[in-house]
Amino acid sequence: MATTLDPSLPAPSQTRSFVTIFLIEMWERFGFYGMQALIVLYMVQRLGFDDTRANLVWGAATALIYVAPAIGGWVGDKVLGTRRTMLLGAIVLGLGYALMGMPTDNTWALFGALSVITVGNGLFKPNSGNLVRKIYEGDDSKIDSAFTIYYMAVNIGSTFSMLLTPWIKDYVDRHYGNHFGWHAAFLVCAFGLVIGLANYGLMRSTMRHIGSQPDERPLHLGHLLLVLLAGALLAVGAAVVLNYETLAEIFVYGAGVVLLGIFAHLIRSSDRSERSGLIAALVLVVQTIFFFIFYQQMSSSLTLFALRNVDWNQNLFGWHLFTWNPAQYQALNPLWIFVLSPPLAWIYTSAGKRGKDLSIAAKFVLGFVMVALGFFIYGAAGHYAGVDGKTSSWVMIWGYGFYSLGELLVSGLGLAMIARYVPARMGGFMMGAYFVAVGISMYLGGVVANFASVPRNLVDPLKTLPVYTALFNKLGWAALVCTLIALAVLPLMRRLSATHNSHATQNGTSGH
């Protein structure tokens, strides 16, 4: 069925269209982060993996999950349509989380479910972001603000799920036995996708005029079947990669070589007017790779640190407020982002109106400074630990606060960077390429987390504490090095942005 806009009907407002994508993104992230909160602890505590294997399996899984959108963006642009591909991805994701909820502890069952999630994310992620870009195409200030609020959707969904799924796991274990808690929590993630799809169905009219060219044509069943078959083959391949560490390394580093090759080809073959924007995007993508190495610590080294070396009792002025589950500390990240996103979006919009908005490159510099402060706070945990080797929960709260502000300044603008600097005709594909970069750094983050992997026989918190704090201090210094690199390339970024904007003005567009 064709979905072209009926000229007799008024076009929905940008805000209504944005809210539709905002909500399905929120529920999709509810599912993903609910699973992420538990996955490393599930492998360590339930499946008996050692820290090293759990970190590398999750690093490889997140690499696959983020690399897959490179293909999904092309499917959305050229084959099924951006809207249709996003919806298909949401359905596949729901199936993947449902498979995680099957009551079995078989390792291949885990790898199979993660592989289905990989395919679903590949179809969903680049196309949801590309729809936001299409809604606000041509207005850079609104794009930055919209993607900051869009990023908040991620964190609304993840806040609730990261708090909820660990609680459900504990509740079911207490009342129905230890075998079912993990899987009940994973089923809740699948339910989030059901709600998201139902909500989109109710609001789909607001998106009838937004999409790529295939969305405007009747659905081609042959193309759909080919996409489903290719997805099934990719899922099988991903499951094999997750089981073999060497294959995972070859895949991830090979993806890095391919990514650089793609950028080199596009820069060489593109019009001169597009070249400066693509070079600017490449510089920022490299910085993004550095950032996500820090990001991956949340679900790996920081979660295991919370398990072993954090006092789960949250106290204020001597009063006991509540008790955390170690997996729930990850929810501090989206909670902080939820608090910080609206004022930051307002600052971007207000500064843009006055012509004083900081460049994305300058925001990256500030972001790395905040990340460094966050990890130095974690590194200082040893100074606040008791005789039992457990540090205060406040270390986690303030560390996540500074880190999350850094994340908003770097990762929150990653998609806006693609929207601003990349030509619209390759928007979906380049959204996917951005996620390839994220995937590479996710795997590298798992490798870094293994510098703090604790042997199974080391259970004394006084001995595990210095292992973690040493890693966090090194990451703080690494973030400062990234700050210096980002500062060093600022003059280049100013020249590239000026050239890009000059060509855009000559072509009668804004940012494209």
Nearest to 45 by CA among 327, 309, 298, 302: 327
Separation of alpha carbons 427 and 179, rounded Å:
45
Nearest to 304 by CA among 197, 185, 450: 450
Higher-pLDDT residue of 201, 302: 302
Phi then psi for residue 292, to 5 deg, are -75, -15
What's the whole-model pTM score?
0.81
The answer to whether the CB of 347 falls within 8 A of the CB of 81 is: no
Token pair of 278, please?
A: 């693509």
The answer to whether the CB of 186 falls within 8 A of the CB of 35 is: yes
Say which range, 111-125, 386-400, 445-459, 495-509, has the weakest mean pLDDT. 495-509
Q: Give the confidence band of 387 by pLDDT, cuts at 50, 70, 90.
A: confident
Query: What's the half-sphere exposure (Cβ side, CA atoms, 13 Å) at 8?
Result: 0
Separation of alpha carbons 504 and 493, rounded Å:
16
- Domain ranges in the chain are 14-315+331-506
Q: How big is the chain, counted in residues?
A: 512
What mean pLDDT value characterizes the chain? 82
* Residue 446 Cα distances to 62, 132, 473, 476, angstroms: 9, 30, 17, 17
Residue 152 in this model has a pLDDT that exceeds 90: no
**From the DSSP assignment, how many helices (H) and strands (E) are in the chain?**
18, 2
Mean pLDDT value across residues 299-304: 91
Residue 2 in this model has a pLDDT that exceeds 50: no
Percentage of the chain exceeding pLDDT 90: 30
Higher-pLDDT residue of 443, 150: 443
Q: Express each pLDDT in 235-259 by its tens digit.
A: 999 999 998 888 888 888 888 888 7
Q: Express each pLDDT in 60-89 by its tens digit.
A: 999 898 888 878 878 887 888 888 888 899
**CATH number 1.10.10.10 is the correct assignment for the domain at 14-315+331-506:** no
Nearest to 408 by CA among 147, 57, 208, 159: 147
* Residue 449 Cα distances to 53, 306, 465, angstroms: 11, 14, 14
The answer to whether the CB of 60 falls within 8 A of the CB of 215 is: no
Residue 119 in this model has a pLDDT that exceeds 60: yes
